[in-house]
């Protein structure tokens, strides 16, 4: 049975008729048609589906769409501004923190959640924040460097 779901997705208010048992990941990709958020394990193990819910990283593959009624949901598509990559996106690109790219949207959203609450994180903070996100390509060192570069770049804007 479908019931109405109201939420804000990437800054836009939406209302959709959604099955009560639909996962947030399926809602984002199939109903909203926003496909940057990836489906890896579908079991809460890999972090590929990480989105922000009210600014906090959450796994969309183990969250029901109706659980986010009235909340703010952000996906990787929310980060670029007027066609320009965000500091985190640029950091991953320039530091080679993205290779095949499959884990990258989830990694970046987990890092975005970290930098919003901890603008100047230690390496241990970054490793902890990304500990639920699996990457098969990079060995993680370049991902850590990417987040550190983004944190440095964001400092002036956070202080402004």
Segment contacting ligand FES by CB under 6 A, of 5-13, 37-45, 88-96, 145-153: 37-45
**Contact region with ligand FES (CB under 6 A), list: 8-16, 40-48, 86-94, 151-159:** 40-48
The least CB distance from residue 36 to ligand FES, in Å, is 13
The token duo for 64 is 């029901």
Q: Which of 93, 100, 122, 158 binds ligand FES (CB under 6 A)?
A: 100
Distance CA 60, CA 63 (A): 5
- Tell me how far apart the alpha carbons of residues 90 and 83 are, in angstroms, rounded to a whole number: 12
Label the pairing between strands 12-19 and 50-53: unpaired
Least CB distance to ligand FES at residue 15 (A): 25
CA torsion, points 43, 80, 14, 71, in degrees to nearest 10?
60
Stretch that binds ligand FES, among 63-71, 80-88, 98-106, 119-127 (CB under 6 A): 98-106
Nearer to ligand FES among residue 42 and residue 77 (C-beta): 42
Residue 3: C-alpha distances to residues 11, 19, 27, 85, 95 (Å): 22, 6, 13, 36, 44
Beta carbons of 109 and 75 less than 8 angstroms apart: yes
Closer to ligand FES by CB, 83 or 147: give it. 147
Contact call for residue 30 and ligand FES (CB under 6 A): no
Query: 17 - beta bridge partners?
Result: 4
- Give the whole-angstrom CA distance, residue 65 versus residue 25: 8
The correct pick among 8, 35, 72, 99 for binding ligand FES (CB under 6 A) is 99
Among residue numbers 101 through 130, which ones bind ligand FES (CB under 6 A)?
A: 101-104
- Give residues in contact with ligand FES (CB under 6 A): 39-42, 44-49, 59, 61, 98-104, 135-138
């Amino acid at each position: 049975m479908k019931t109405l779901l109201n939420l804000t997705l990437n800054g836009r208010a939406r209302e959709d008729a959604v099955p009560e048992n639909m996962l947030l990941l399926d809602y984002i990709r199939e109903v909203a048609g926003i496909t940057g958020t990836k489906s890896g394990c579908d079991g809460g193990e890999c972090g590929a589906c990480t989105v922000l819910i009210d600014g906090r990283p959450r796994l969309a593959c183990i969250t029901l769409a109706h659980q986010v009624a009235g909340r703010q949901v952000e996906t990787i598509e929310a980060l670029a501004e007027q066609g320009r990559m965000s500091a985190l996106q640029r950091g991953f690109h320039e530091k080679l923190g993205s290779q095949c790219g499959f884990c990258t949207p989830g990694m970046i959203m987990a890092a975005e959640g970290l930098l919003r609450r901890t603008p100047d994180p230690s390496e241990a903070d970054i490793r902890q924040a990304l500990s639920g996100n699996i990457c098969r390509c990079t060995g993680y060192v370049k991902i850590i460097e990417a987040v550190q570069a983004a944190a440095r770049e964001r400092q002036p804007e956070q202080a402004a």
